[in-house]
Amino acid sequence: MDKEFLKVNKHGWNTLVKNKEIFSNTSLPEYGPFMANENELGLSKDIVGKSILELGCVSGKSLEYLAKKGAKEVWGIDISEEQIKNAEQLNLKSSKFFISPMEENPGIPLNYFDYVLSLYSLGFSSDPIETLKLASQYLKSGGKFILCWIHPFFNCLKIEDDKLVIGHNYNDENKKIITKGPSKVELFQYNLKISTIINGMIETGMEIEKIIEEEPKEKNEIGDYQSHYFDARKLAASPTTLIIVAKKK
Ligand SMILES: C[S@@+](CC[C@H](N)C(=O)[O-])C[C@H]1O[C@@H](n2cnc3c(N)ncnc32)[C@H](O)[C@@H]1O
């Protein structure tokens, strides 16, 4: 494991939680900024009685949403003890939380879950491909993996000198330092090519069921999102979020 990556990110996420600088726009029912949400997409329609694991579960909001919809048990793993503290305070029935990097197994049963979720968390893993492998191992045969992450094309777009340009090389899959929140907390992030993510899933024994690249619903920078990152010209040019639904064979 990349110890420096994990140290920076654990500290960064704990700081963001303590400063209350977390946006909630990627917690279910939302899948991502300006994206169609779960009420529209219905990816977890058959959730009643199902067992769920979320990788990078934040403060448990998505798991709470699924528990209210009838999930039988909800498990979460997150590197930030501050996030898990908040998640445990939700007192969700049949819940279990682990403070751990998602790129190792802290004692989660294999071939057990009906759903594994990774909602805007994969690129914060120091080893995204190993994380996909673990996601597959946790699923029972026929279980589903729902992944959403920054759309790699959106990530390449940038506004420079008031023009929309390709500011990031799509071929460059190396880790990068990004800053998040008003206090510009530093975090490491991987942005992989679409093919790397999909091939990673296929190699771990998953079949791709659906790829969703929705056009942003609004194309004006609004609310929490007022930043160049969500400039209206970028929103007009690309989906913000890539969603992939896969099934374990
Ligand atoms: C962008 S947030 C996910 C967004 C989330 N779906 C929401 O509801 O807002 C990323 C989460 O992953 C966690 N995280 C970051 N790196 C991690 C790692 N290597 N292993 C486990 N959790 C990690 C962070 O603490 C944070 O809670």
List the CATH number of the domain containing 134.
Answer: 3.40.50.150
Return the pLDDT at 222: 56
pLDDT band at 214 (very low <50, low <70, confident <90, very high): very high
User: What is the mean pLDDT of the segment spanning 67-96?
Assistant: 97
Q: Is the pLDDT of residue 248 over 80?
A: yes
Distance CA(215)–CA(239), nearest Å, equals: 5
Average pLDDT score over residue span 32-56: 94
Which strands form 113-119's sheet, in the order they lie side by side? Answer: 95-99, 73-78, 51-55, 113-119, 139-150, 241-248, 206-212
**C-alpha angle 23/67/141, rounded to 5°?**
105
Share of the chain above pLDDT 90, in %: 82
Domain membership of residue 199 as a residue range: 3-248
**78 CA distance to ligand 1 centroid (A)?**
6
Report CA-CA distances (Å) from 233 to 3, 150, 152, 162, 240.
37, 17, 16, 10, 12
**Measured between alpha carbons, how far is 106 from 80 in angstroms, rounded to an integer?**
14
Report percent pLDDT > 70 for the chain.
95
Q: Does position 223 have pLDDT exceeding 60, yes or no? A: no
What distances in angstroms separate CA 219 from CA 18, 167, 239, one per listed residue? 31, 20, 10
Q: Residue 180's pLDDT is what?
A: 86
Cβ neighbours of 143 (radius 10 Å) = 23
Confidence category of residue 183, pLDDT binned at 50, 70, 90? confident
Number of domains in the chain: 1
**127 CA to centre of ligand 1 in angstroms:** 14
For 78, other C-beta atoms within 10 Å of its C-beta total 28
Higher pLDDT, 204 or 217: 204
Q: Which carries the bigger pLDDT value, residue 226 or residue 80?
A: 80
Instruction: Return the pLDDT at 148.
Output: 97
CB 116 within 8 A of CB 138: yes
Output the residue whose Cα is nearest ligand 1's atom 16: 124
Q: What pLDDT, on the 0 to 100 scale, is given for residue 218?
A: 73
In SS3 terms, 174-202 reads as CCEEEEECCCCEEEEECCCCHHHHHHHHH
**Pocket probe mutation, ligand 1, options 21, 78, 108, 117, max atoms within 8 Å of Cβ:** 78
Best of 2, 121, 127 for a ligand 1 pocket test (most atoms within 8 Å of beta carbon):
121
